[in-house]
Structure 1
């Protein structure tokens, strides 16, 4: 029963399928007959399959909590740690995975001690578990694949200077946690995504931005859209804590580097901890003039905090104050901020939304998505009323597709896509439908700010306004995912580290 539990979890058996799972487990138990050999001298407590089973259990546990996940995210967080992060881990899942692990190992140990034949079963299972673990063969694919310079050669460094005579515009970039566009297409989607759709209608919305390998978690979404590259793993054996490292993607120029060179003031405000997942190292290393996070606003928030940090209404209140200050400066600014409210599995609904919105038939997760949209819409309305959106571009995007939650089944039945809209001075409402990636956002932002890009290219991206095909359109998502997952040459270029 223990052995079959992970299979039931991964394939999400339910109803009659669950009965099949139980019967299969019972059948397996009867098949494994054993005898108590009194003269057997092999009473070893060692199991060859112990370590492979533990590693497989780790994979099953991560799958149970986050759903389908990116191997790059695992490697990245092995490097950066989880300081300041608080995944919502459900006790039942922890219990069942632990029970499955312990039950299976104890059963195997009992059989091993009572039947010499299971010594060979133990060895065979150990080899099978190593081969079956997705983390093992994905890591092998990454490290053992032959070098392919395609993506590395495609990389295009962004121009450093705006053309003469270009009027410098401010830009506000809002990373809306897990606010993926697909929410509009599921049951109650029109209500859930009403505010986000309304915001998109005021400018240009791009429909078709897919989530590629190494762009599917918060830091990866931030880096890919601001640097035009996926967050390639640096390697399993590099320094384990970015707080102790001097650089993050130092060999390449990102949006903040380019804008800083053109006289911009750049800031990043995070609803969570500024040091989570290497954010502070990246921000400090790429010329952001100022950064802030939950640690800077604890006194203001008091006990009104969620497990990740600030509620979104508190975050937008502080963002409004910062933008008011920036608007009084004599230089253009680029202000980026990242919300928390839509974080899976249930979201974190702000009290403002509890007071002003009706939840109705929306789930708690849907209500959290709606709440973030409502707060973004209100935030922009206040800025406009105060005259703070003049000569300003506003870009809004989901940082990544939402992770495991109660709507995963509905979402996975659709062609999932990230949200991206851009509005402001000189932008006419339109809808662009094309296959693209998060790193295509980078050249799009540069172009809308007036930068001239040959072929619309910067980083690995191609501007969403350009006629030239981007990498997703050229290779297709599946093939491009494979190229990204095994491209250690690109990793070496981005990190500037021979150990990558």
Structure 2
């Protein structure tokens, strides 16, 4: 009796429906449970697995039947669509989880909308190829098994079973994405307006900034550099110091830490990727996609047709320096158009831009020369030596800003200078970047202009390559920050231990080259040489992070502005 009942088609249909309902429950509960998600994840997977195995066994034991041919076609098409959707989501999840698990939905949305000219996606080729192969194999197996089921007159059961399996898979992967991308937190905050920025923002254009001396500035952004890699004995989290030269530079100069342990700057929302980080350190506010209109989101950056600056309301470092007679220059080894970096720096200090295209135009590299994101850091430092020599020969003070790229995730770029000391490629690239920076700094110190020059080295943001972070055994509890070192600042700059963010580098940079700032605050930043508390010291990391995830009417209307024709 029981055996007959188990083979009844209505019972099988009921189990399919039950699995579908469980899939819907998965999405609802993954939203509700949040912190208990991981434990729930395993319970759900075990439950679904038992039901599917049991359902498969029963399916093979049922008598042949095929009473609904039209329904077969519908479920066949739905199953095929689910295969593509679920497999695509699964591939995307593994890339997000293993390659850069720290990214959230807000950052992902910005990257999807931003100008991606010059983006290097070569590191994802392997994942894409493996994903396409997996998808092809699954599709071939799907239609092959369907033909087999059709011969046995069991295609109805087969298409229904496949539909159920892939629907369950879709629900599982959707729940994983929800948790990983912090969709719940994003949705909770995106609809809220916070007065935090308005209450704490200081407009540099309305503050008295005077220069006791006008020191030259060399500002070097090191892609994805963090004190995490300085070794446990130096306050890092790796077993061995991978960046010994950078460790020594921070210890011998200023990083606003205490003792020999390296300190760094927290990178908060809007400043956890390169363009946002550069905006944060030069204007005291980040760049978040939620604050911008569709012209910018659709990559409209043409200078002649639009007022294209996506932070037109801020008065930034470059503008302060230009106003005080400085010559500004930005040098990068990739295309400056990526994320509108050329637009931002041109409109905020009239920077002269030297990028990959410039190197090609000047004949420094052939037109078909392309390494990693453009040209490697070794060439960037080589060209920078020539450019800074020219800048120093002029009568006006200068600000030379560099952005490296070899240490970009995933795995970094192995140039001809890199060794093979470490098993992990990324470790060798980081070690090489440390040595190259140290060599460049030593060259600067030997130049006549160094006496009157302040050098700031800043990691733009912590690396997004969380596969590497996991391989290195770095705990989730470790607080990762951006590397900071201030070298040869103005004589009255006194270092003290601070807790700070990359926003604080804006007024700190000006103070380091001889500026006196009324109130010692600019943007959301505080002069770290002053006795004023930083916002993160005042509010704490969690509170400040939460507030910056929410929208700001003041930011949207006064700082981000709207594009105009």
Is the TM value for this pair above 0.5? yes
Contact kept? 1:222, 1:399, Cα under 8 Å: yes
Using the size of structure 1 for normalisation, the TM-score is: 0.82
| Deviation sequence 1:444-489 (CA, Å, 0-9, x none) | 1122233333442111112222333222223332332222222243
1:203 maps onto 2:270 in alignment? no
Hey, what does 1:411 align to over in structure 2? Answer: 474
Q: 367, 374, 386: which is aligned to 1:309?
A: 374
Partner Cα separation in structure 2 for residue 371 and residue 435 of structure 1: 29
Tell me how large the CA RMSD over aligned residues is: 3.8
Hey, what does 1:389 align to over in structure 2? Answer: 450
1:241 maps onto 2:311 in alignment? no
1:217 maps onto 2:217 in alignment? no
For structure 2, which runs of at least 5 residues remain unmatched after alignment? 1-22, 24-29, 31-41, 147-154, 232-236, 257-262
For structure 1, which runs of at least 5 residues remain unmatched after alignment? 8-18
1:39 maps onto 2:81 in alignment? no
Partner Cα separation in structure 2 for residue 236 and residue 31 of structure 1: 52
Partner Cα separation in structure 2 for residue 324 and residue 422 of structure 1: 21
Instruction: Please report how far the alpha carbon of residue 272 of structure 1 lies from its aligned counterpart in structure 2 after TM superposition.
Output: 1.1
Distance 1:371 1:235, change over 3 A: same
Hey, what does 2:259 align to over in structure 1? Answer: none
| Deviation sequence 1:23-59 (CA, Å, 0-9, x none) | 8885453044457752234231236867974567545
| Deviation sequence 1:183-221 (CA, Å, 0-9, x none) | 11244532x211112222342113141222221111111
Contact kept? 1:344, 1:405, Cα under 8 Å: no
Using the size of structure 2 for normalisation, the TM-score is: 0.74
Hey, what does 1:325 align to over in structure 2? Answer: 390
Distance 1:367 1:60, change over 3 A: closer
1:228 maps onto 2:284 in alignment? yes
1:258 maps onto 2:290 in alignment? no
Partner Cα separation in structure 1 for residue 248 and residue 345 of structure 2: 31
Contact kept? 2:269, 2:286, Cα under 8 Å: yes
- Larger helix share, 1 or 2: 2
Greater shift, 385-394 or 30-39, is seen at: 30-39
Partner Cα separation in structure 1 for residue 411 and residue 177 of structure 2: 29
Instruction: Please report how far the alpha carbon of residue 138 of structure 1 lies from its aligned counterpart in structure 2 after TM superposition.
Output: 5.1
Contact kept? 1:162, 1:451, Cα under 8 Å: no
Alignment of 1:276-425 (within 5 A): 276-298=338-360, 299-302=363-366, 305-351=370-416, 353-354=417-418, 359-361=420-422, 363-404=424-465, 407-409=468-470, 410-413=473-476, 414-425=478-489
Partner Cα separation in structure 1 for residue 51 and residue 135 of structure 2: 17
Distance 1:189 1:90, change over 3 A: same
Partner Cα separation in structure 1 for residue 517 and residue 494 of structure 2: 22
